[in-house]
Amino acid sequence: MLRQALLVASRSGGARKVVETAPFTGDLVRRFIAGETIDDAARVTSDLTSDGLLVSLDVLGEDTHDKGHAEANVQNYVELLERLGAAGLGARAEVSLKLSAVGQTFGEDLALENARRVCVAASSAGTTVTLDMEEHTTVDSTLRIVHELRREYPDVGAVVQSYLRRAEEHCAELAYEGSRVRLCKGAYAAPAPIAFTDKEDIDKSYVRCMKVLMAGKGYPMLATHDPRLIDIAGALSVLDERDANTFEYQMLYGVRPQEQRRLAAHGAQVRVYVAYGREWYQYVMRRLAERPGNLRFFMRALVGR
């Protein structure tokens, strides 16, 4: 119930205006976001990579209904990628891109064109792009764009959300040689005919998807903080005789940082998803929806106590 309310609030323009203009001082926001600037992102990336972790950077700003804003988002990504390339971080840090940030609302052609520009910049920086998966209404369009981009950039990452009833089918289609696939549970609200809504069913679907990806020929990117699922991933890697460099774990910046380092210390590849920028409202609201217990800290930060 609270999760649904937080996800609805994440899409409310009014709430966003009030909250986003509050000073960027809340501990909770600072916990999940690297900072507001490209310098903050570069600093956090450098710290994480020095600790043996990989990074995927997300420039905040999504669900844009303004073409100028979409263009600014593309420019921000290009600038970030130039910075990563110049710092020689391309081998350890990639970017995650939301198509809603670069014009998907205006149609698939604009989103594809803009995503391609980000792929060009990533390729020059010696790194890759993963297309985040968003609302269920955009899944087919996003997968079409992944397939189109992969003609020129085969290393473009796709995302499957295990809460979708079609998730296993998507995994089977995507588990081919060279295909980078992030598996996550899904962070948006989706109706019952399309998505599992019960946590147990979402987790079971995650396991089925993981089995398909780990047994397949692609490169699974297992995005979860769930200890049970991480254990099952480890068992599957043994069963499927996968070397540690043929798949990776992914977690969010600010969530289970010790576990990230523990897995890396045991030889696993671990990528941390790092978001930065001023437009943090929707991102942080989804983090609250995942763990409503965080809400208390957030409200305290908002009212300045």
**Which residues would be at the binding site for ligand FAD (CB under 6 A)?**
132-133, 159, 161, 184-188, 223-226, 250-252, 255, 273, 287, 290-291, 294
CA 125 to chain centre: 20
Q: How far is the CB of 74 from ligand FAD (least distance, A)?
A: 19
> Six-digit token pair at 189?
């609200």
Give 35 or 157: the residue with its C-beta nearer to ligand FAD.
157
Say how far apart CA 225 and CA 251 lie, in whole Å.
Answer: 6
Q: How far is the CB of 14 from ligand FAD (least distance, A)?
A: 24
Least Å from the CB of residue 296 to ligand FAD: 12
Do the Cβ atoms of 60 and 285 come closer than 8 Å? no
Q: Min. distance of Cβ 287 from ligand FAD in angstroms?
A: 4
**Beta carbon nearer to ligand FAD, 83 or 287:** 287
The length of the chain, given as a count of residues: 305
Catalytic residues: 132, 182
Query: CA distances (Å), 104 to each of 114, 200, 294, in order?
Result: 9, 32, 31
Q: Please say which residue, 51 or 82, places its beta carbon nearer to ligand FAD.
A: 51
Q: Which long-range contacts (CB under 8 A, 24 or more apart) does 8-13 make?
A: 8/189, 9/285, 10/281, 10/282, 10/285, 10/286, 10/289, 11/63, 11/282
Q: Which is nearer to ligand FAD, 121 or 252 (CB)?
A: 252
* Alpha-carbon dihedral angle through residues 230, 235, 238, 242, given to the nearest 10 degrees: -30
